[in-house]
Every structure is written in C-alpha cells, then in structure tokens.
A = this chain, B = another copy of it.
Amino acid sequence: MSRVLVTGATGFIGRQALTPLLGAGHEVHAISTTDAPAWSPPGVVWHRSDLLSDPAGAVIAVRPQRLLHLAWYTAHGSFWTSPENLRWVAATLELTRAFAAAGGERLVAAGSCAEYEWGLQGPCVERVTPLRAATLYGACKDAARAVLEAAAEELGLQVAWGRIFFLYGPHETPGRLVPAVARALLAGRRVPTGDGSQIRDFMHVADVARAFAALVDSPATGPVNIASGQARPLGEVIDAIGAATGRRELIDVGALPPRRGDPAELVADVTRMRRELAYEPSIHLREGIRQTVDWWGERPEAPG
C-alpha cells in the first residue's frame, strides 16, 4: 500500500481512477481546484489546489509515494493548439521536482498518441515508432516526457508514461465525437459524417482508468501505450452509436469531406500493457457505446 496523489482527479479519466486505486489498497489523495466533489468514492482525501499557480503545494502537503498525474489542458477544440499547453509543461516539471524533493518514488503521467508521428502504417510501438508530433499538444506532451525520463535517475524517481489513444464514456466533453453523435441522434437530429474510413483505437474510459491504476502498481518505466490494440474504422464506432440509439437512419455517411491532417490510421501496439501491466481491457466497444449512450440518454440536452 502506498500514499497515492491523483491530479486531474475530477477529470474524464481521473474520476474513474479513484475506485481502482482504493481497490488496490492505496491511501488515495486527490486534487481539486474547488471543493471535494459530491460523487467522490468514500475514502478519498481531497485537497484544494491549483497546479498552475502552485504546482508544489499539494505534494508538499501530502508527501505521496506515488503520483498519478492526469491533469492537463483539455478544452475541446482548442487543446490541440492552445498556448495553455506550455503552462502545463511548466507545471508538470515543477510538480515532478517538488514530488521528488518530498520523497516521491514513482510518477505515472498521461501521455498521448499525439506524440507519435502520424501517417505511418501499422500500430504505434513504444520506443520504435518515431516521435514527431503534428500538433502543439503532442509536442508539449512529448517534451514533458523527454525531460521527465531524462531526469528520472537524477531525481531518484521511477517515471512511467501512459500514452492514451482514443477514448469514450460517461462525462466526456460534449463536443467530442462520441457524445456529439450520441446526443444528436438521441435528440433526433441528422448527423453528417465523413466516410468513416479512418482507423482508430478506441477504449472505454473506465478501462483506461483501470490501466492507469495498474500502471501505478507496476514496475514498468517509460512509455506504455494505454489502448485497446484493436483497429476499427471510425464508421464502426459511429454505427455502434446508431445501433445503441436506434437511429441509424439519421447518420449521413460521407456527407463531410475528409479533415486535413487527419491520419488514416492511429492504432496502438499494446504488447507492453498486456505483458508488463498484465492488463486487458474488459469493455467491448458495442457494450461500452451502449452504456455511454444510456448515460447521455439520462442527460437530455437543454432546449436550445
């Protein structure tokens, strides 16, 4: 059992990581910029902290042995290009220094498939696929990882870096693909889509969160892809939403042109995750999409 501090604990992944960490026997501390959330699992100790203005405060107060750092700038539409990404690189480095200085032992942080070069064929393999971020977000995640990996020995830290691919599930930002399609179909609106041919790797957020909890307890260091390992056309994901809502007929496949810079294929090799974390995702896509659609169905859009 360790004292684990979770940043981004009220976020899309973070809120699902608390229960698996408690289940593994850890003393779980979590950061929120506001009060402890009403939905918190019992047993989590909440700390009010703003990582951007005071990156060191929470680790000095908690003195965690392990740090699960999920916080980052994620505003839909702007996170790919926003200069806020620079602030999060800076905050991540300051947080890590303070964590090491306060006796921290193991840092697990959230990376991204956006660190890999896009446009190559076949699955992305850690330490094999070239790192050549096409976006500011990807460049900032990659820079933070490079610094933390290079600093690990000097700081006396284990550093593991979970590279997330595509996810979906409850509490996703409404503007993103799965919620946008689900909510439109649930409201009876037509949904124009591209040709759906892009190959992606989708994982339910609860599986992503459990994989991160497994990574906290594993001795693995360096980058580890956190993904399903299953290559699926985007059209299959959209069709699953159509099936779950019973409104397939509202989907206009091919109505939108391809998006510039959108890679044809973005899929993970998950050999490391399987072997070193002994982790397998448990939620199949159609089942996960059905759950997610049900969740959105209980939260109808406000009248426009």
Contact surface of A with B, Cβ cutoff 8 Å: 81-83, 85-87, 89-91, 93-94, 96-97, 100, 133, 135-136, 139-140, 142-144, 146-147, 149-151, 154-155
Contacts and interface: CB of A to CB of B under 8 A. Distances in A.
Contacts of A91: 90
A296 B97 CA distance: 38
Contacts of A149: 139
Contact of A147 (B94, B96, B139, B151): B139
A290 B97 CA distance: 43
Central interface residue in A82, A93, A149, by most chain B CB within 10 Å: A93
Contacts of A144: 143
Contact of A142 (B86, B93, B146): B146
A89 B144 CA distance: 10
B100 A94 contact: no
Given A83-B97, A97-B83, A100-B83, A89 B147 contact: yes
B151 A86 contact: yes
Given A146-B142, A147-B140, A87 B93 contact: yes
Contact of A143 (B100, B135, B143): B143
Nearest to A136: B150
Contact of A83 (B86, B143, B154): B154
Lowest 3 CB-CB distances: which A-B pairs, in order? A139-B150, A90-B90, A143-B143
Contacts of A87: 93-94, 97
Contacts of A142: 146
A199 to B, nearest CB: 25
Given A136-B151, A139-B147, 8 more contacts: A89-B93, A89-B147, A90-B93, A90-B94, A136-B147, A136-B150, A142-B146, A143-B147
A82 B154 contact: yes
Contacts of A155: 83
A134 B97 CA distance: 20
A13 to B, nearest CB: 23
Nearest to A92: B90
A150 B140 contact: yes
A113 B38 CA distance: 52
Given A87-B93, A143-B146, A147-B89, A81 B133 contact: no
Central interface residue in A89, A91, A94, A100, by most chain B CB within 10 Å: A89
Contact of A85 (B82, B85, B100, B151): B151
A86 B97 contact: yes
A9 B258 CA distance: 50
